[in-house]
Structure 1
Amino acid sequence: MKSKSITLFFSFRFFAMQRKILFVLAQVLHIQSRMFSEKKSKLKTEMCRLFVVFILIFEIFYSCKEEAGDPNPYADVLSSSPLSKMENYVGLESEDWASKIFNLDKHALNYVKELNRVDGFTESPSPMKDLNIFKTTLLDALNSQTGTVATLLKKKLFRIYVCENLGGSAVSGIIRKDGKSVGGFVILDANTLNRNANDWISYKENSTFQKGNTKIRIRIEEEKQNTKANALRYILLHEFGHIISETEKIGPSFFSSKRSFANFEFYQGVWKSEKVSYLDDSVFTIRPQIHFYSESLPLEDNWEKIYPILSQTPLPTLYSATNADDFFADSFVSYVHVVLEKKPWELEILKNNKPIFKMENGIRNDSLQSQRKIIERILSQ
């Protein structure tokens, strides 16, 4: 995921801090030289030295604080959950997908509750009443994967939980062994995903906006392929993108107490931090107001400030614009779906059921060339 190792990343930052320290030391020598040449008093010399030392300490402290990144509210949830520990999966290494599908258990329930608490959601999930019906559709989605994507999934997706009333379509988590992230798990909401592919993604996109005469329709499958299994296939690839992001070190670890995206290649020029984009100040000013599953914005009043601008940015979808982590995950699923599988991804805005705007997934845009190359490297391993 990440083009430079964590070692190089911290070496770069340490070098940058050294440059600041050397600059300040040079200023100390310069001040002292002037003081000697001008025969300043000993008292004034000592005062200047103390002042410069104060500046030096401030520079070092500010550098460390600035480089540390933003607080990560999910770190404790991931670190404390038994789901994140490899010993919870010992003896379950089979590549048979049927053996990896579970109903929501106590640990998965507590994990989702904690995530919802952090995110401000009030939903409390429950186990699915009839897992077998949903499991058949889920197996169709998993077994339809081929090539390097299928190989990666079997290697790094350890378990899939199914529940109801999740608070969204799905969430993912990371599994560690000896301090190293080796794979992950996904928790799916069977009710939210009980739709055909085109209906599900259209529902998801419209969840950002208040209901009215203007709405969004997205097509990600041809009519014959517009199935529930393909809806699940798409959402699993998105969630798997989060797992890939962690295991391939595309961005800062989900387990870090503070996270900075500044020196990770995939995010350069797009994201300052998890929730702040370089585009916010002048290019895509409405972006911070976009929240999925909130129905918070009137679409009719705002679509012209969103979709025509979105189509000109290095953000392939609106969901990829919500935060830095989903920027990678939605870029990953967009690449597999549009570039590898050559499937459609077309968005229309309808007013009184008449199209007023159209756009495609932006993953093929020139502005995403470096991101495509990173994803290609992952899939060619």
Structure 2
Amino acid sequence: MQRKILSFHAQVWKIWCFMFFERYSHSKLKMCRLFGVFILAFSFSNHCKAQKGDPNPYADLFAHSSLSKMENYVGLGSDWGSRIYNLDTPAKDYVLGLNKIDGFDESPVEARNFPSFKKEVIKTLEAEPEPIQSLLKDKLFRIYVCEDLGGSAISGFIQENGNTKGGFVLLDAKVLDRKANEWITYKENSIYTKGRLAVNVRIEPDEANTKNNALRYILLHEFGHILSGTQKIGPSFFDAFRSYLRFPFFSGIWKSEKIASMDTSFFPIRSKIHFYSGSVSLDEEWEKIYPVLEKSPFPTLYSATNADDFFAESFVSYVHVILEKRPWVLEIKDGEKVLYQMENGITKPSLEKQREIIRKILFKL
């Protein structure tokens, strides 16, 4: 690829020089050569940057945290009870490092209701059917419970001899105290300033609208991040630079972690969407968001925030909607009046390749 680019721009340079040689003086020919060299250098620099990828601010933290090292998980128990811990010092240090990078001030503490919350986590995990149950047992090595995390949940990765073997998840027991529909509705509305309109999301029928099913959805999303590492879906989180160019799951959709292919033309407001920021007016902008989202290759709005969450959200959407046939409906409401309604987009024709990749992971094809 680099040879082709060099060859092309060498030809451009020769043509420019020939034109100026025929018509202008020797001094103009010098300018032409300099301009040609500039074009060549600029194009080659941009190509190399795209191949190399963006700097990864988390690489040093992941590489040096004791939570990332496989030797700390020797003798891993097969039962979920042996894998669930209250916050300890290594886990706290990991969160503090992550929060510092992300600009959060929170300092996590141990969960006060750890025994009861642990029971709920075990109940949630044991309720998962196959093939999810086996995949979780194989790749989810540990769950930490805390409070004041700086979010609902975060995940991390465990390496052995340079390969990502599995991962861990940290949960905030204090934050995760909502039923499924209330939690995801709260999350979706966290983007917007207070106004007349509001978003309502339903991911469970009334009889299944429980805190356990909110926890289930969150765990599956975080587990999606872990799978992206173990299955090499995207660039390694341990690399100093991360590029998505050679990974089929992101092809044609993501140029980099935070830049989508359709940003300038089809979905320009996408880059302004930040969950938990309260920075966008739903009243003024909803028609630029959800109708466009429905026509895009993103299954949910959260999946449109960055490339890594594109996979994690696609994974949980696949399990939730396709595998387990649960509902996922979003409405824009003005009081009781429904202005707009859409479903999870994981079944879109534009996501056929992504569905096939997830299906192969789940069923080991």
* TM-score (normalizing by structure 1): 0.87
Q: Is the 8 A contact 1:123 1:166 kept in 2?
A: yes
Query: Residue 12 of structure 1 aligns with which residue?
Result: none
Structure 2 counterparts to residues 156-235 of structure 1, below 5 A: 156-235=139-218
Structure 2: how far apart are the matches of 1:306 and 1:51? Answer: 42
Say which SS state the counterpart of residue 277 (structure 1) adopts. coil
The residue that corresponds to 1:138 in the other structure is 121
1:275 to 239, 252, 258: 258
Give the alignment partner of residue 297 of structure 1, picking from 280, 292, 297.
280
Asked whether the 8 Å contact 1:103–1:162 carries over to 2, the reply is yes
Pairwise mapping of residues 47-66 of structure 1 onto structure 2 (< 5 A)? 63-66=47-50
Is 1:18–2:3 an aligned residue pair? yes
CA contact (8 A) 1:176 1:182 kept: yes
Q: What code does the residue aligned with 2:2 have? A: M
Listed as ranges, the gaps of 5+ residues in structure 1 are 1-15, 34-40, 42-46
Residues 1-381 of structure 1 correspond to what in structure 2 (within 5 A)? Answer: 16-23=1-8, 63-91=47-75, 93-381=76-364
- Aligned counterpart, 1:7: none
Aligned partners of 1:296 and 1:313: how far apart in 2? 22
CA distance in 1, matches of 2:283, 2:38: 55
Q: 1:57 to 1:301 in 2, by over 3 A?
A: closer
Match of 1:44 in 2: none
Q: Matches of 2:250 and 2:215 in 1, distance apart?
A: 27
What is the CA-CA distance between 1:64 and the residue it aligns to?
2.9
Cα contact 2:16–2:36 (8 A) shared by 1: no
Q: Percent identity, aligned pairs only?
A: 56
Q: Which range is displaced more, 146-155 or 351-360?
A: 351-360
Structure-2 change in CA distance of 1:17 and 1:355 (3 Å) = same
- Measure, in 2, the Cα distance between the counterparts of 1:329 and 1:306: 20
Measured after TM superposition, the shift of residue 212 of structure 1 is: 3.0
Q: State the structure with bigger RCO (CA 8 A, min sep 6), 1 or 2.
A: 1
Alpha-carbon shift at residue 355 of structure 1 (Å): 1.8
Deviates more, 1:132-141 or 1:328-337: 132-141
Quote how far apart the aligned CAs of 1:302 are: 1.5
Deviations 1:51-84 (A, max 9, x none): 9999877766554333211111111121121110
> Which of 21-30 and 367-376 deviates more?
21-30
Specify the SS of the correspondent of 1:109: helix
With 50-59 and 345-354 compared, the bigger mean Cα shift is at 50-59
Residue 275 of structure 1 aligns to which amino acid in structure 2?
Answer: K
Q: Which amino acid aligns with 1:77?
A: L
**CA separation of 1:239 and 1:54: change in aligned 2, threshold 3 A:** same
* Residue 301 of structure 1, CA deviation: 1.5
Contact 2:50 2:243 in 1 (8 A): no
How many residues matched?
362
Task: Report how far residue 127 of structure 1 moved.
Answer: 1.1
The verdict on how the C-alpha distance between 1:283 and 1:170 changes in structure 2, with shifts beyond 3 A counting, is same
Deviates more, 1:290-299 or 1:17-26: 17-26
Deviation at 1:380, TM superposition (A): 1.5
TM-score (norm 2): 0.90
The 1:24/1:295 distance shift into structure 2, 3 A limit, reads closer
Pair 88,298 (structure 1): closer, same or farther in 2 beyond 3 Å: same
CA distance in 1, matches of 2:171, 2:304: 22
Measured against aligned partners, the alpha-carbon deviations of 1:253-311 in whole angstroms (never above 9, x if no partner) come to: 11111111122111112111100111211111111111111111122111111111111
Measured in 2, the distance between the counterparts of 1:367 and 1:321 equals 14
Would the aligned equivalents of 1:168 and 1:293 in 2 still touch at CA under 8 Å? no
Indicate how the Cα distance of structure 1 residues 60 and 202 shifts in structure 2: closer, same or farther if over 3 A, else same: closer
Deviates more, 1:368-377 or 1:292-301: 292-301
Q: Do 1:241 and 1:329's aligned partners in 2 also have CA atoms closer than 8 Å?
A: yes
* 1:350 alignment partner, SS class: strand
Amino acid at match of 1:71: P
Q: Which amino acid aligns with 2:131?
A: T
For structure 2, the residue ranges without an aligned partner over 5 or more in a row are 19-25
Q: Distance in 1 between matches of 2:12 and 2:271?
A: 41
